[in-house]
Amino acid sequence: MKAKKEKIIFRSDCPISSALDLFGDKWSLLIIRDLVYFGERTFKDFSGAAEKISSARLSDRLCKLEVLELIIKSNHPTNKKVYLYTLTPKGMDLFPAIAEYVKWSNKYLNDHIAEPAKEFAQNLEKDREGTLNQFMKR
């Protein structure tokens, strides 16, 4: 729980740099991504993602995101040693930004991107509002 003690230092009063100060690392948005897609996840679930985050880093990021109130950690209904992580509305509101990354990568890194993501990107191009709402309202 080292991460909980730290305070965030904002480099400026720019909204972009401030956002980056909060979650502008290589892992935070991937945790948000998994939660947008799956709704809820355990520590082990996150560890199983293709990008292979280390447990030390995952632990640190989950703490930080919880402190920022982007995610919530709660008990599993039946299993006492498993925790469930879910998104807050504040965390879910990062989804539009993530969606723009998907669109950009689909346009410029297309031949490197997995098929299901390409389809999602195409849906975003066709009907941005509808595609976003489909996830946001869940």
Q: Based on C-alpha coordinates, what's the Rg of the chain? A: 16
Complex with a second copy: residue 38 or 101, whichever CB lies closer: 101
Contact status: 7 vs DNA (CB under 7 A): no
- C-beta atoms surrounding 28 within 10 Å: 20
* Token pair recorded at residue 87: 């998104």
Contact status: 27 vs DNA (CB under 7 A): yes
User: Which x/- pattern over 36-55 shows residues binding DNA (rule: CB under 7 A)?
Assistant: ------xxxx------xxxx
> For residue 40, is it left (φ>0), alpha (ψ between -120 and 50) or beta?
beta
Residue carrying structure tokens 């996830």? 135
Decide which of a second copy, DNA, none touches 73; Cβ closer than 5 to 8 Å per partner kind: DNA
User: Which x/- pattern over 4-43 shows residues binding a second copy (rule: CB under 8 A)?
Assistant: ------xxxxxxxxxxxx--xxx--xx--x----------
User: Which of 25, 107, 43 is CA-nearest to residue 117?
Assistant: 107
Phi, psi of 9 (to 5 degrees): -105, 120
Contact status: 122 vs DNA (CB under 7 A): no
How far apart are CB 131 and DNA at their closest, in Å? 30
**Residues of this chain that bind DNA (CB under 7 A):** 1-2, 25-27, 42-45, 52-57, 59-60, 62-63, 73, 76, 78-83
